[in-house]
Structure formats: structure tokens, C-alpha cells
Amino acid sequence: MNKKSSIYIDVNSNNVCVAMTENDELTEFYIESSSQKKLVGNIYKGVVVNVLAGMQAAFVDIGLEKNAFMYVGDMIIDRAELQNHDIEIPEKLLISQGDEIMVQVVKDEVGTKGARISSNISLPGRSVVMTPTLDFLGVSRKINDEKLKQKLMKLVKAHAAKGSGYIIRTVAPEMSKKEIVAEMKQLSDLWETIQQRYKKARPKELIYTEGDLVARMLEICSIPM
């Protein structure tokens, strides 16, 4: 049976809401403030300002008013949501003051605190999240069917980009093999583009942004079926 997929968007002065349905059943719902500037997901060519060796942390200038804070273990993905979250994240920051590094915003600026950033990049899609800097395969805790989980892991492993990791998201079981593979290819191409932009970018330059909620959802839904 063919799936009937729809996307509904509501924009007002306070919030942007996006709902996604399949066969008239709600599958995903997102809400985002219309006025607050969103930094989470942005990728920058940062410059290391100060390294706190004892804390395995650093302050990095990414071109904002306040320097961003980076801790070696941070990721944009919440590992508590995964069934297996033994991700081998480096234990030491192998950087020095003045180094240029690619970083991604994990948490927005709050009050007097600058943004929280990570050098462990995550590129989210609808069915999978690609972690191009960490070779790892994780699965959402909400996928309980063991046979289905193994099938999805086998599929993702077979089409994984060399050296990259993936997290299989809750909605993956509702998507076809063709859809998942197409999305993985799209994320791999995006990562290649980001790396090329990084090479050409000036220090402290923004090299990738996910855009607002509507743009992100439309980009996800544009994946060839």
C-alpha cells in the first residue's frame, strides 16, 4: 500500500509549527520560536583562543560577540536517547591556541554565556543522523523490535560512508529502503560540501547553517523517493 505523506506548517508572530503525517496519522511534530535566533546546528571555522588542559575544554572564537565553549565529550546528539551509546569520543583535545578547527553549535548562547560547541559534527536527516567525524552505529531507544533493528543496522552498514557513523532515528522503520539509502547519500554529499567550504572559508566564518524550521523540514522532504 502506498503511503500518503503530508506536511502542515503554521507560522505566527511567536512560533513556527510543523506537523508531518502519514496516512493521516501524526508521525512528527516540531515547534520553534519565530523571534529567537537559532545557532544550534551551525558549523563554523573557529579559532582556538584558550585551551583549558585540565578540563579538556577550550574557548573558541567563531565570530560571535562571546567566545564559544567546547568540551571534548560534547555532541549535538543526546546519547541518552540511544540503545547503545558507547561512542568512542576522543578523551583529549589535541589542539593549541591559534589553531583553526571545524566546530558545530550544540547549545545556544544563554545570558552572559557563549554558545556551547563541539568538534564532533552531526548532520541530521529524517531517518538517520550522520556523524562524519565519529565511526559509530547507534539506534533510537524507541525502536524495540529486535529483528527490525538488526535489519536497519545491516542496511545502514551496507551503505555507510567510510569512516562515518550513523544514528538510526525513530521514524526509520516507517521509511523504505530506497528512502533511507537516498537520505544517506544526500548527507554524505552535504558533508563533502561542508569540507570544501571549510577549506575556502576565512577564520571565524559560518560555513553551514540548517536554516529555520520550515527550510529544514522542506529540505528533508525533498529527498528523492
Cell, residue 60: 573558541
Position 212 scores a pLDDT of 57
pLDDT in tens, 71-80: 988 877 766 6
Position 223 scores a pLDDT of 44
Instruction: Tell me the CB-side half-sphere exposure of residue 31, using CA atoms within 13 A.
Output: 4
Per-residue pLDDT tens digits of the chain, which is 225 residues long: 456 667 777 766 667 777 777 777 776 676 766 555 678 899 999 999 999 988 889 999 999 999 999 998 887 776 666 776 556 777 788 899 999 999 999 998 888 889 999 999 999 998 999 999 988 898 988 898 999 999 999 999 999 999 999 999 988 998 999 999 999 999 999 999 999 999 999 999 999 987 655 555 555 555 443
What CA–CA distance (Å, rounded) separates 96 from 217?
Answer: 38
DSSP for residue 161: P
Residue with cell 522542506: 218
Instruction: Tell me the CB-side half-sphere exposure of residue 29, using CA atoms within 13 A.
Output: 4
pTM attached to this predicted model: 0.78
> Strand, helix or coil at 59?
strand
Give φ, ψ of 137 to 5 degrees. Answer: -130, 115
Using CA of residue 48, residue 77, residue 134, residue 189, what is the dihedral sign?
Answer: negative
What CA–CA distance (Å, rounded) separates 225 from 176?
Answer: 9
Position 91 scores a pLDDT of 75
Position 219 scores a pLDDT of 56
List the beta strands (DSSP E) in 65-196. Answer: 68-71, 100-107, 116-118, 123-124, 128-131, 137-139, 165-168
Residues 6+ apart with CB under 8 A from 24: 4, 6
Instruction: Tell me the CB-side half-sphere exposure of residue 206, using CA atoms within 13 A.
Output: 11
Using a 10 angstrom Cβ sphere, with 0-12 exposed, 13-18 middle and 19 or more buried, the burial of residue 12 is: exposed
Residue with cell 568538534: 119
What CATH number is given for 37-218 in this structure?
2.40.50.140
Residue with cell 579538556: 56
Position 34 scores a pLDDT of 52
Position 87 scores a pLDDT of 67
Position 13 scores a pLDDT of 60
What CA–CA distance (Å, rounded) separates 166 from 128?
Answer: 6
User: Cα separations (Å) of 28 from 5, 7, 11, 24, 169?
Assistant: 11, 9, 17, 12, 12
